[in-house]
Amino acid sequence: MLEVSEKRHFTHHLYESIKEANLPIGEMSEVEDKQDLLKKLLSGETILLLDKQTKALSASTKGWRDRGVQETTSESVIRGPKEAFTETIRTNTALLRRKIKDPNLRVEAKTIGRKTCTDIAVVYLEGTAEKEVLDQVKERLNQIDIDAVLESGYIEEFIQDAQYSPFPTVYNSEKPDAIAGGILEGRVAILIDGTPNVLLVPALFVNFMQSSEDYYQRADIGTLVRLLRLFCFSVALFMPSLYIAFTTFHQEMIPPPLLISLASQREGVPFPAFVEALMMELTFEVLREAGVRLPKPVGSAVSIVGALVLGQSAVQAGLVSPAMVIVVAITAISSFVFPAYNMAISIRILRFPLMILAATFGLFGIILGMIAMVFHLCSLQSFGKPYMAPLAPMIGKDQKDVLIRLPHWGLLSRPSFFTKSDQKRVDSKSKER
């Protein structure tokens, strides 16, 4: 009787000493029930069971195979860091920590997914991130009950504000510098294990028009590139519909020499401009989708087919007019300008209803379509922030980093629509010479 209790006392002592000091492993936790133990074992942890102890020790010895930090494939830049997030959440948080060495950077872990038990980390700057936004993020994450989470898209659809909108209200990027920049503005990042795409909320319309490179090039260049992107936004959205409207309804508004040249081109074309445009736009969408899915060695074949067969031959065969090919080409190239792929998709989608409106009501239809779109954009919200801020509602002092970008010494404060506290960014004395 005495022996047994002594033994138990001894193992307990051993257990405590192992837990406290003797294992040189960073992450240690106690496990008390079998279910939990199994889960930990299956996620790659080492379990230490001691005789006559009701608790077990679990050491984090996870060692996934990963592909290491590589160059980004979807958001390439000329100047600036080229690294991208990986599929491993630990690596990703380390990449962020390396950029922001502030003690206030918080990483809150969570698991979502009954079967996959996917690790999720909410990363933010304590004191800078707005509490309301943070609470909303946590609340929405806690509500999710799903069996599997394989990619950040699963989470995005649960937490986004507007379910029925072509416009994205959650930003995602695989570039650590873009995410770190967002966190420094007071936004909240959501990292999901198993995917390099990290979510960032709240996301406003202007965020999708900006690239992290805008901050690395000199300010004047950054500004010009942003204005160019805005121009491309309108071209990608309105160009085909304007072409349809002008050639079918408002010929009198085209300058006569141009009208003559357009008319002579369209002479042999058997279709109305709308069908012609729709055909070419659809063809282009097909080509683009094929280009994404193709194995790399076959890729050049598609570009030959696309450029030669569909472009040149369609014109020579008299199926479409050369002007139409130019319009489609400009539209297509303009839609590649956006740094955010999900915004480019919404523009691609919206182009088609606008084309239908242009074919039925001409410019009147296009303008009404545009007004309806702006009203929709103005009614959207992302985690309580108006989507079109700081343009509507207009916030004067935040214009410094929206359509234009002031030099870094001029960006004195953080954007006020993300954070009200901890506004100071640059000390105004740092430019004195």
Partner 1 sequence: MDNQTISPRQFMFLVILFSVGSSILIVPTPLAANAKQDAWISISISVAIGLLLVVLYNHIATLMKGQTFVQATIAVFGNWFGRVLLFFYLSFLYILASLVLRNIGDFMTTQIIPETPLQFTHILFLIVVIWGAYLGLEAIGRSSEMFMPWVVLLVFFFTITLSPQIKMENLQPVLGNGIVPVVDTSTFVIGTPLLEMVTFLMIIPYVKDGKTKKRAWILGTFIGGAILTLITLLCILILGSDLTALNTYPSYKLAQKINIAGFLEGLEIIIAIIWMITIFFKMVVLYYSTTVGIAQFLTMEDHRPLLLPLGMGMVVLSIIAYPDVAYFETFINETWFPFAITHGLIIPLIVWIGLLFKSKKQNKTQQEPS
Q: Diameter of the chain by CA atoms?
A: 110
Phi first, then psi: what are they for 106, rounded to 5°? -105, 140
CB of 210 to partner 1, least distance (A): 18
Q: Is the dihedral of CA 213, 215, 221, 227 positive or negative?
A: positive
CB of 381 to partner 1, least distance (A): 10
The SS3 assignment for 185 reads coil
Task: Give buried/exposed letters for 208-229 (b at 16+ CB in 10 A, else e).
Answer: bbbbbbbbebebeebbebbeeb
191 beta partners: 121
What one-character DSSP code corresponds to residue 291?
H
Cis-peptide into 202, omega within 30 deg: yes
Q: Which is nearer to partner 1, 252 or 267 (CB)?
A: 252
Q: Which is nearer to partner 1, 251 or 264 (CB)?
A: 251
Distances from the Cα of 240 to the Cαs of 11, 169, 300, 336, 366, in angstroms? 78, 26, 27, 16, 11
CB of 385 to partner 1, least distance (A): 12
Q: Which residues contact 226 (CB under 8 A, 6 or more apart)?
A: 209, 210, 214, 403, 404, 405
Q: Which is nearer to partner 1, 222 or 386 (CB)?
A: 386
CB of 164 to partner 1, least distance (A): 13
Q: Which is nearer to partner 1, 13 or 397 (CB)?
A: 397
CB of 234 to partner 1, least distance (A): 12
CB of 123 to partner 1, least distance (A): 31
Q: How far is CA 163 from the centre of its chain?
A: 16
Q: Which is nearer to partner 1, 248 or 413 (CB)?
A: 248
How far, in Å, CA of 339 to CA of 78, rounded?
Answer: 13
CB of 423 to partner 1, least distance (A): 21
168 in Cβ contact with 203 (< 8 Å): yes
Q: Which residues bind partner 1 (CB under 8 A)?
A: 249-250, 252-255, 361-365, 367-368, 371-372, 374-376, 378-379, 386, 388, 391-394
Q: Which is nearer to partner 1, 284 or 417 (CB)?
A: 417
